[in-house]
């Protein structure tokens, strides 16, 4: 019989992995388990918030997965010993190797006052779709002069530069449509990704509009009250016209129930094969995995997916997996036609995915507008290329 590989989760990680497995070995039986009919991509969803793009540009379907068996169900349990996955309709499926790629769950138990009901008033918009539209509509409805507050979590979380790209694009919207308004970032950190580039751009494009409050100045939000849209910090409380609360996160629930997540909530993996450190024959890729310096991005998820597929294709044929080299690049838009980026190269070292010294870097701090414009165009090209590779 054909060796059967199951992939749970059809995001940038899982969908990429299922396709790569089939390309590497046509004789593998590859099944992708994903309950949603559409995939809503987060990259560029901040542009939707700012009214620069429609949600349809973020929406992808699974109708071109003809050589992968697609099951439109949610995986609810994994029996690692018997190597079976149970689906939400009660059926169960066996595997030789299982790849889990469920992305993140928002932790609704981590911030007092912030639960699923609160997220309908203070959207996180950290999963694209209804939450993105809710926050966009709140911004559209807000009177000029309102205070928008964005709260950013401590590391690690999905998309390290994402909150700051979001702050930039909301600032662009406020500057052009509601110029008496203000944006405050309450941050649980004292430093963030591409910080010098973002701060220089904010000074240039949005002087006085964005206030960043770091951890050491009382930026960490300790409690929220959705009824009054109040965010409480160690240094006092802030009342918002709009509150965008990005809460702490952890690996998607199925990773917890499969026993591949540790006490941090994330899934430790072997950096060569992405096999779980906690359960044999289960691999974890994308945002759910943690194993060193690689950030949680769609670019990383796709790179990990291909490396994991190569390892799984080797393991099921009893060949030795080859240590991978992985690349990540994260683009951020600070304004239309103004892009910045950070890139890194990663390889297994001392049991982790370690950054290769001197191989990455960020956009130059001083650069003419033409460089920022080019990077904004590269960002668009990257999104078109990756979504075409994964879903096209």
Where do contacts with ligand FAD occur on this chain (CB under 6 A)? 8-14, 33-36, 39, 42-43, 45-46, 74-75, 101-103, 126, 158-159, 162, 166, 252, 254, 286-287, 296-299, 301, 330-331
Task: Please report how close the Cβ of residue 199 comes to ligand FAD at its closest, in angstroms.
Answer: 19
Strand partners, 244: 150
Task: Please report how close the Cβ of residue 320 comes to ligand FAD at its closest, in angstroms.
Answer: 27
Query: Tokens 């070292």 appear where?
Result: 349
Nearer Cβ to ligand FAD, position 31 or 297?
A: 297
> Which DSSP letter does residue 73 get?
S
Nearer Cβ to ligand FAD, position 217 or 378?
A: 378
Q: How many CB atoms lie within 10 A of CB 305?
A: 29
Task: Please report how close the Cβ of residue 380 comes to ligand FAD at its closest, in angstroms.
Answer: 11
Alpha helices of the chain — where are they, by DSSP H? 12-24, 45-49, 130-141, 162-177, 195-205, 253-257, 298-316, 369-391
Task: Please report how close the Cβ of residue 204 comes to ligand FAD at its closest, in angstroms.
Answer: 21
Task: Please report how close the Cβ of residue 332 comes to ligand FAD at its closest, in angstroms.
Answer: 7
Q: Is 242 left (phi over 0), alpha (psi -120 to 50) or beta?
A: beta
Which among 291, 308, 259 has a CA at the least distance from the CA of 97? 308
Nearer Cβ to ligand FAD, position 123 or 321?
A: 123
The full 3-state SS of 88-112, as one line of letters, equals: CCCCEEECCEEEECCCEEECCCCCC
Q: Which two tokens mark 152?
A: 């950013």
Nearer Cβ to ligand FAD, position 233 or 387?
A: 387
Neighbour-count burial of 380, counting CB atoms closer than 10 A to its CB (0-12 exposed, 13-18 middle, 19+ buried): middle
Cα-to-chain-centroid distance, residue 9:
13
CA dihedral defined by 152, 157, 161, 167, rounded to 10 degrees? Answer: -30
Nearer Cβ to ligand FAD, position 25 or 287?
A: 287
Task: Please report how close the Cβ of residue 119 comes to ligand FAD at its closest, in angstroms.
Answer: 14
Neighbour-count burial of 281, counting CB atoms closer than 10 A to its CB (0-12 exposed, 13-18 middle, 19+ buried): middle
Nearer Cβ to ligand FAD, position 192 or 299?
A: 299
Nearer Cβ to ligand FAD, position 5 or 101?
A: 101
Task: Please report how close the Cβ of residue 264 comes to ligand FAD at its closest, in angstroms.
Answer: 16
Instruction: Give the residue at shortest CB distance from ligand FAD.
Output: 11
């Amino acid at each position: 019989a054909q060796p059967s590989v199951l992939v749970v989760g059809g995001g940038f990680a899982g969908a990429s992995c299922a396709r790569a497995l089939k390309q590497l070995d046509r004789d593998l039986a590859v099944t992708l388990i994903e309950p949603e009919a559409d995939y809503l991509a987060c990259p560029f969803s901040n542009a939707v918030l700012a009214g620069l793009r429609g949600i349809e540009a973020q929406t992808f379907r699974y109708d071109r997965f003809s050589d992968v068996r697609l099951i439109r169900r949610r995986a609810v349990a994994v029996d690692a010993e018997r190597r079976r996955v149970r689906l939400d309709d009660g059926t169960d499926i066996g595997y030789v190797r299982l790849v889990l790629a469920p992305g993140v769950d928002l932790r609704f138990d981590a911030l007092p006052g912030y639960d699923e009901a609160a997220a309908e008033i203070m959207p996180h918009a950290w999963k694209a779709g209804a939450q993105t539209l809710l926050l966009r509509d709140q911004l559209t409805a807000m009177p000029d002069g309102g205070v928008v507050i964005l709260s950013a979590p401590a590391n690690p979380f999905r998309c390290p530069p994402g909150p700051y790209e979001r702050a930039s694009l909301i600032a662009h919207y406020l500057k052009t449509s509601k110029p008496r308004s203000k944006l405050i970032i309450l941050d649980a950190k004292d430093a963030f990704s591409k910080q010098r580039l973002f701060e220089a751009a904010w000074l240039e494009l949005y002087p006085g509009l964005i206030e960043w409050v770091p951890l050491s100045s009382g930026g960490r939000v300790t409690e929220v009250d959705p009824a009054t849209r109040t965010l409480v910090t160690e240094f006092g409380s802030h009342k918002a016209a709009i509150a965008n609360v990005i809460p702490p996160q952890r690996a998607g629930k199925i990773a917890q129930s499969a026993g591949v997540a540790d006490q941090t909530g994330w899934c430790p993996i072997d950096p060569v094969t992405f096999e779980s450190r906690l359960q044999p024959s289960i691999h974890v890729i994308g945002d759910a995995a943690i194993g060193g310096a690689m950030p949680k991005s769609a670019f990383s998820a796709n790179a990990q997916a291909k490396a994991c597929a190569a390892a799984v294709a080797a393991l099921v044929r009893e060949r030795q997996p080859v240590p991978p080299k992985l690349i990540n690049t994260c683009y951020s838009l600070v304004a239309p036609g103004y892009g910045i980026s950070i890139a890194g190269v990663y390889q297994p070292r001392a049991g982790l995915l370690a950054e290769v010294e001197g191989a990455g870097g960020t956009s130059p701090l001083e650069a003419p507008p033409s460089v920022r414009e080019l990077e904004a165009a590269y960002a668009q090209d990257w999104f078109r290329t990756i979504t075409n590779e994964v879903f096209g």
